[in-house]
Structure 1
Amino acid sequence: MSTVGTPLGDAWDLLSAESLISDDERAVGRRVRELVDTTVRPRVAEWYEAGTYPAEVVRELARQGLLGMHLDGYGCAARSAVENGLAAMELEAGDSGLRTFVSVHSALAMTAIHRWGSAEQRNAWLPRMAAGEAIGCFAITEREAGSDPAGMTTFARRDGGDWVITGTKRWITLASLADVAVVWAMTDDGLRGFLVPTDAPGYHASPIGPKLSLRLSVECDVLLDEVRLPCDAVLPGASGMSGPLSCLNEARYLIAWGVLGAARDSLDAVLRHAAQRRQFGKPLAAFQLTQQKLVDMALELDKGILLAVQLGRLKDAGLLRPHHISAGKLNNTREAIAIARQARAMLGGDGITTAHSPLRHASNLEAVRTYEGTDEVHTLVLGKRMTGLSAFA
C-alpha cells in the first residue's frame, strides 16, 4: 500500500498501515498496481471523456489471475480475502469502472455460479469466465425494486419441462457485453436464480446513457421477453433472498477496499500538486491550511485502510458478518468521496480537467455510493444490529 515508485514515498501512511500487510499480500497489490500504471493510466482520461469501456483490459485482468481470484478451482486463483481486497484497491486507483467490472463479473456472477450452481453449470462457465473468454452479469435490480429486491416483479413460470422468464431489469452492469446473465426472478416457489445465455431469444440489453459517472463502465436496461430456458438453467443451490444477498456481500466487501484506491490516488495527486505549485513565494504544501487539509484526508484514508484490513482478516477467518460489510461500505465510500472532493478543490481550476484524477474519482464514487446499498440502507443495517429493531418497514 505504499506509494513506492512515485516521488511521494509513503507520505500519506501516518499510521504505518502497511505493517499489517504481509510480503506476499503486498506483492499482489504491487503487481496489480503495475498493471494499472502500464495499461490503464496512459489512456484512462481518454476512455473517460469518450465514455468508452476498455474491453481490451479484460484479457489482461484474466492473465493476471484477477477474475474470480477469491474462488478455488476452475482456473481461479484462490487468493485470500485481503489479497482480493488489495487488488480491488489498486484497480479502483485507476478507475472505479475497472473495479466495478471485477465486482460484477467475479464477485457477483462467478460467485453465484460457483456457490449455487450445479457441477455442470460450474464446469460450463467458470473456466471460461476465469480466462476472460466469457463475461458474466448479475441481473437483480428493477426500476421499482432497487433497495427492496424482495419486491421484484420479474417472473419465471414452468411450461412443460422449460422455464419461461418475463420481466425487466435496470442498472445491470455489463449486460450488453455479457455472455451469460445470472437473472433473479420470482417463481411459484419463491425467488430463484437462472443462468441466461445472452444470445437467447427474448433477451435484450440496452446501455443507459449518457452518464456523468462510471463512464468506463456499461450499465443497461434489460428486457426479458418470454425467454425460454431448459429446466437445468436454474441454480439448484439458491432459493430465496439468501442466494443473491450472499453474492452482493462479496461485491460490497470489494467496494470497502476499492474506494480507498480512488481516495489514495486523489490524495497522491494533490500531494504532488501542493509540493510543486508555488504561491506567494513558497509551495502550497508549506501553508498551514494546506497541511491541515492534507492531514485530515490522510487520517481518514488510513482509518479506512485499517477498517478494510480488519474486514479482510475476519473474512479469511470465516467470521465476517453482513453488518461488518455494511460498516466498511458505508464509512469508506463516504470518506473516499470527501477526500476526492477536497483534493479537487485544492487543485484549483486545473482540478476540473482530465489531466487530474480527483474529480473523475469523485464523480465515479457518487455511483459507487448508490449501488450495492445506499448510505441509508447500510445505516439501517447497522442500526438494527445496535438496537435489535428493524427500521426498514
Structure 2
Amino acid sequence: MESDLFEQDHEDYREVAREFVRREVEPNLERWEEQRLVDRDVWAAAGKQGLLGLQVPEEYGGPGVDDFRFRVAACTEIVAVGAASLQSGFATNDDIVLGYLLGMATEEQKARWLPGFVTGETIGAIAMTEPGAGSDLRGIRTSARRDGDEWVIDGSKTFITNGILADLVVVVAQTDPEAGSRGFTLFVVETGTEGFRRGRKLDKVGLAAQDTAELFFDGVRVPDTQRLGEVGTGLQSLMANLPRERLGIAMSAQTTAEAILEWTLEHVTAREAFGKPLSALQTVSHTVAELRMKVEVSRAYFDRCVRELNAGTLTAVDAAKAKWWATEMQWQVVDAGVQLHGGYGYMNEYAVARAFRDARVQRIYGGSNEVMKEIVARDLTRAR
C-alpha cells in the first residue's frame, strides 16, 4: 500500500523486519499455532535485530527512538505472513506495558526492568480485565492493602495477553474503595512471587499462538518499591496511555487489511473460473475495487494519527476513532477476502482463513467498538 508516512530510515528498518520474519517467523508459524504458544526464543531473536523496546532510552540499553513509524514498519512485515499472534504479543510489550514503565517508573525501577524489554529477555503483561470487569475498569475488584512497607494483592484477572510467558505483570488494583476513580493504583508483580499463579491458557476462537491466560493473586506481597506511580493514580495513568494502545490496535487492523487485500488480489488474478481469471468477473473486480478504496481511505486517517502521536497531539477521541474505524474496515476486508477465495478461504492452510479467526477480537479488546462510539458521541455532544 502506497503511503508517504515512511522515510528512508523506516524503509531500511522494514527490510530488517522482513529478514527477521523470513528467518525466524515463517518457518515456525504452523508449529506455534499447533502448540498454542509462540516460542520464547523468537523474542530474543527480535531483540538482537533491534525490533523491540525502541523507546527505551540509551542509558537503559535502548536506542531511545520515540517514532511510531518504526513500529508500523515492523508490524507491516509481521502481519504480511499472517503472524497476528506474534504481533499481538509484541504490541502488548511495546505499545502498552512499556508505556507505563517509561512514564511512571522511578529511576531504580527503569534500571531494573527496561533493559530486558530491549533484548527480549523480559516479556510483560497488563492485568486490567477481570471476570466481572471488562471495558468498565471502575468495576475492578482486585484489591491491594498496605501492610507496612508492603502491599498485599488479592484477586483475579482474565483474558491477559502474554499471561503465560510474562516475566512481569502490571496489575491494576483497588487501593481505596471509597475514593471512586482515585481509588486504583498500579503495581508490578514479577514471576515467581509467592501467591501469584497462572491459571489455564485460554482456548480462543482466533490468535491461537498468542498466549492468553487467567492470573490469580492470593495474598501476593510486593514491596512499595514495586508500586508504579502515585497511590490512587491508576485509572488516570490507564487513560493517559490509551491513545497509543488504541492506535496500536488500529495499526494491526490497517496493516492486516492491506495484507489480506494483497492475498485476495493474488488469488482472484491467478484462479480461473469459466475459462478466465476470477478478476475478469465484474462482481469480483468491483468487490476488490471497493476494498481497495476502503483500505486507502482508512490509511489516510491512520497516517494522520501516527503523525499526531509522534507530535504528542493525538487525542483519546481520535485514537478511539482510529481503533473503531480500522477494525471495522479490517473485518469487512477479511470477510470479503474469504468469500472471494471460495472454498479455499475456509481452509486453515490459507492465511486468509487464519486472518478471519484472528480479526474478530480486534473489535472487542482495547475497549469494545461500542465503547469507542460512546467516546466519540460524548465528545460531539460536549462540543455543542
Bin for the TM-score computed over the shorter chain: over 0.9
What percentage of residue pairs aligned between the two structures are identical?
Answer: 28
TM-score, normalization by structure 1 = 0.90
**1:336-375 equivalences in 2 (<5 Å):** 336-375=330-369
After TM superposition, give the deviation of residue 254 of structure 1 in Å.
Answer: 1.2
Instruction: Give 1:63's match in structure 2, choosing from 27, 32, 48.
Output: 48
Residue 30 (structure 1) aligns with = 15
**Counterpart residue number, 1:144:** 132
Q: Which SS does the other structure have where 1:69 is aligned?
A: coil
Map of 1:3 onto structure 2: none
Q: CA deviation at 1:50?
A: 4.2
2:206 is aligned with 1:213: yes
Matches within 5 A, 1:182-193: 182-188=170-176, 190-193=183-186
- Retained in 2: the 8 A contact 1:172–1:221? yes
Residue 49 of structure 1 and its aligned partner are, at CA, apart by 4.2
- Structure 2 counterpart of 1:326, from 320, 327, 333: 320
- The alignment covers a number of residue pairs equal to 375
SS at match of 1:241: helix
TM-score normalized with structure 2 length: 0.92
Give the alignment partner of residue 61 of structure 2, picking from 64, 75, 93.
75
How far does residue 348 in structure 1 lie from its aligned partner after superposition?
0.9
In structure 1, C-alpha distance between the alignment counterparts of 2:136 and 2:129, rounded to whole Å: 9
Cα distance, 1:80–1:299 mapped onto 2, change above 3 Å: same
Residue identity opposite 1:133 in structure 2: E
Secondary structure, in 3 states, of the residue corresponding to 1:338? helix
Give yes or no for contact 1:115–1:237 (8 Å, CA) kept in 2.
no
Change (3 A) 1:372 1:346: same
- Counterpart-to-counterpart distance in 1, 2:118 and 2:15: 21
Q: Residue 91 of structure 1 corresponds to which residue in structure 2?
A: 78
Runs of 5+ consecutive residues of structure 2 not aligned to the other structure: none
The aligned counterpart of 1:295 is 289
- Report the aligned-residue RMSD: 1.9
Q: For residues 215-274 of structure 1, give each alpha carbon's deviation from its aligned partner in whole angstroms, at most 9, with x where no partner exists.
A: 110111111000011121101357141212233432211111111222122112111111
String of CA shifts for 1:71-107, please: whole Å, max 9, x gaps. Answer: 4332233141222223233323332212211121222
d(CA) in 2 for partners of 1:53 and 1:137?
15
Alignment of 1:132-211 (within 5 A): 132-188=120-176, 190-211=183-204
Quick one: higher RCO (CA 8 Å, sep 6+), 1 or 2? 1
Q: State whether residues 82 and 309 of structure 1, in contact with CA within 8 Å, keep that contact through their aligned partners in structure 2.
A: no
Task: Quote the Cα distance in structure 2 between the aligned partners of 1:266 and 1:178.
Answer: 30
| Contact 2:36–2:211 (8 Å) recurs in 1 | no
Contact 1:68 1:107 in 2 (8 A): no
The answer as to whether partners of 2:38 and 2:86 remain within 8 angstroms in 1 is no
More helix, by proportion = 2
The one-letter code sitting in structure 2 at the alignment partner of 1:149 is L
- Give, in angstroms, the shift of residue 332 of structure 1: 0.5
Q: CA deviation at 1:297?
A: 1.1
Q: 1:222 aligns with which of 215, 218, 231?
A: 215
- Deviations for 1:177-197, whole angstroms, at most 9, x for unmatched residues? 111111111113621111111
User: Secondary structure, in 3 states, of the residue corresponding to 2:313?
Assistant: coil
Which residue among 35, 39, 43 is the counterpart of 2:24? 39
The answer as to whether partners of 2:5 and 2:69 remain within 8 angstroms in 1 is no
Distance change (3 Å), C-alpha of 1:164 and 1:126 = same
CA distance in 1, matches of 2:132, 2:222: 25
Distance 1:22 1:370, change over 3 A: same
SS in structure 2 at match of 1:27 = helix
Q: Which amino acid aligns with 1:32?
A: A
Where does structure 1 lack aligned partners over 5 or more consecutive residues? 1-12
Does residue 241 in structure 1 map to residue 235 in structure 2?
Answer: yes
CA distance in 2, matches of 1:384, 1:236: 29
